[in-house]
Chains A and B, each alone.
Chain A
């Protein structure tokens, strides 16, 4: 068998491998930042449709708004495309004065042009059109007018406070400005060839692989330090980690998992960012499904659960307990201390500190002395599995058996919106307290049967929550708060609504978990990353590679 020579073939194989392997890795050598996100591909790069965390991260490279959330800290607003603005005394008319010399990116042979009020008005009209935007409801009843090339006037039907109005014109979702000419010219193509005014210009989209951008030399805040940004789609976590280790990739998206954070911290030359605002995980009890129509059962579950246990399961480095539907640090949130004090004042319990004797007593009163069994759908995603498995284990100790039917994420969203779950775990962040309460607790948003069905899984406003036989609602508190111009008054009403929800036990706020990214130490964001509304680090003109 001399002719077969297996040893020779192995030598040839190694030779071939070495020949292939001579090309050097290229990350960071060309001053291009490479970031890998947990996605198979883009969904939509039109900013008025982009809603996934991954799409938003890319969109923010290329688009800006009239005002912007302070980079790295979403607690404050700053001027951006608008240099200044004023509001009429009645709170109905907002006038924005545009910055001069803002250049729209060049696109497909067009050199780009100066952004004017005509573009801004076009963008807001587009954002308000349900056919051209997923955020149309946010702009209902508004009119937009170009007063002169650098002045835009927005008129409202009902007054809005700064706290509720500025997010609509900030660098988020419908507030991102799409210039008129490229939007009209590219039509549907705009979704995969975005043209904006941001620090980076769209260059190339390689489906299932990456988006390539180059720096905008004419960016109005100064020339970006990076030559460009490449965003890779890598849905496999191990591949992202290896990409970081091999330095093919400079920044990777991580899972909200403490072991992963610790693993990344052990890697040489790697830094981990844990930042907010985070997603709040809340259990919503469906009052139309037995036995969750009984307030005693809902409260019994509240007393059975320990938030600390759930937070420990998620990891204390990335999660902390929350006590209200609106999470920290959003205006309107309730701290544990506040819930306790207010409970003492009202003679009620808004905190539901773990007390299993109370659970047993309430279950017995409700006719379930031996507990009960229920069944629910749950997404396969880890950020839902980890806390829910912990909740299920805790409930089992109280005699409540929850059978989990694990499905893929799209199916989960479909099923919970079809009102199929008795309990819904929902992790999310919403930009304002008004949005959160409106979508999760207003009667219009009741799943399936509401006027504008959304994510009111508990049927608040369409069911008897306190057991007196009458329908209970927080609609009026949300609506009155929405029209108030006084920020303190608004916050008080939002809190009032949440105390009612806690009293009724319709939703059990569990945790807020932060976002995790790992990066090479040579990547510097250029700002203090505390929180970003796009839920991934903002890469802007200040971001640099210091290598």
Chain B
């Protein structure tokens, strides 16, 4: 398993280089110039050219690419082209806000989605099932930002329980959780909808398996049938899809961060895009790509824990 993990990590390297290359080329061929953005309308062409030189934008794209690659291999993301701050510092500050938000969303989705999915599957074609299906469909149909706004309206304006601004102090647990509650709930409800639907569908498939019928025939209690046979066998498909949806959730976190003004990677990415901050944008894309690779790896490794038939070669 260790060899498998190392191999998977090594395979991630070309993936990240491809992401970097695509991002690098796309941001540079897009119209707009960080020097123009930074200096504004009044700046003379001379000032803009001087700044472009300082930023290294006068060099060929190839030279800039090699320089970026060299920096990244040394673990250096460089400096923001707009405010000159080291990007690693910005990421160090932003990443925890995005990670905690995504993590809360996943946990929320798993904790509430799996039981709801299993319950609605077992109560198939009853009122509970219909309600569960309608709610989960609603959750899937809601754009993340819209749900965020609705929750804000309900729990910050109508019932003033939570703040609508910022991510709180990351070093102060109470403050941090206080600011995390509504954004976490937003992503969590979306994730719950995803998980509910796939858990229901997975359980329904498993319900028709011979071993479930056999378990019931040999007189096992319903609880044992569900926990020992049904749930465990459904989990493999659920785990695989949770990985996929966790990646979708990372994308969703961008909108949630904008709506709740959380200083995470999503907000950093949108800001960098607007300001044509090439270096920051590249760094954020690399981090997002790394998260996707990491989640895929964790999903693959979890298979083995759930299903002993899966062997890593």
Which A positions have Cβ atoms within 8 angstroms of B? 1, 3-4, 6, 9, 13, 16-18, 20-21, 23, 25, 36, 40-44, 49, 51-52, 130-131, 133-138, 173, 188, 191-192, 206-210, 232-236, 238-239, 242-243, 245-246, 248-249, 407-411, 413-415, 417-418, 428, 439, 452-455
Contact = CB atoms under 8 A, between A and B. Distances in A.
B31 A239 contact: no
Contact of A246 (B82, B119, B145, B160): B160
B106 interface: no
Nearest to A249: B165
Interface in B22-59: 30-33, 36-47, 50
Contacts of B84: 188, 191-192
Contact of A236 (B40, B123, B258, B276): B258
Contacts of B30: 411
B123 A1 contact: yes
Contacts, number: 192
A40 B274 contact: yes
B275 interface: yes
A495 B186 CA distance: 57
| 4 tightest A-B CB contacts, nearest first | A51-B40, A21-B161, A40-B271, A410-B32
B85 interface: yes
B102 interface: no
B115 interface: yes
Contacts of B118: 1, 4
A51 B41 contact: yes
Contact of B165 (A17, A21, A239, A407): A239
B37 A43 contact: yes
Contact of A248 (B37, B116, B163, B175): B163
Contacts of B136: none
B100 interface: no
A410 B178 contact: no
Nearest to A247: B160
Interface in B230-261: 258-261
A408 B274 contact: yes
B83 A414 contact: no
Interface in B141-189: 145, 149, 152-153, 155-157, 160-167, 174-175, 177-178, 180-181, 185
Given A17-B155, A414-B31, A209 B167 contact: yes
B78 to A, nearest CB: 14
Interface of B: 30-33, 36-47, 50, 82-85, 90, 93-94, 111-112, 115-116, 118-119, 122-123, 145, 149, 152-153, 155-157, 160-167, 174-175, 177-178, 180-181, 185, 222-223, 226, 258-261, 263-264, 267-268, 270-271, 274-276
Nearest to B226: A1
Contact of B162 (A20, A36, A191): A20
Contact of B83 (A17, A131, A192, A455): A192
Contacts of A236: 145, 258-259, 261
Given A238-B259, A452-B45, 8 more contacts: A6-B115, A17-B161, A21-B162, A173-B42, A188-B84, A209-B261, A239-B165, A242-B164
A134 B178 contact: no
Given A4-B119, A192-B85, A411-B32, A20 B178 contact: yes
Nearest to A133: B47
A49 B258 CA distance: 26
Interface-central residue, A4, A428, A439, by most chain B CB under 10 Å: A4
Contacts of B47: 130-131, 133-134, 136
Nearest to B273: A408
A135 B185 CA distance: 47
A453 B45 contact: yes
Contact of B42 (A134, A207, A210, A417): A134
Contacts of B263: 206-209
Nearest to B145: A236
A327 to B, nearest CB: 16
B99 to A, nearest CB: 15
Contacts of A210: 166
Contacts of B157: 242, 245-246
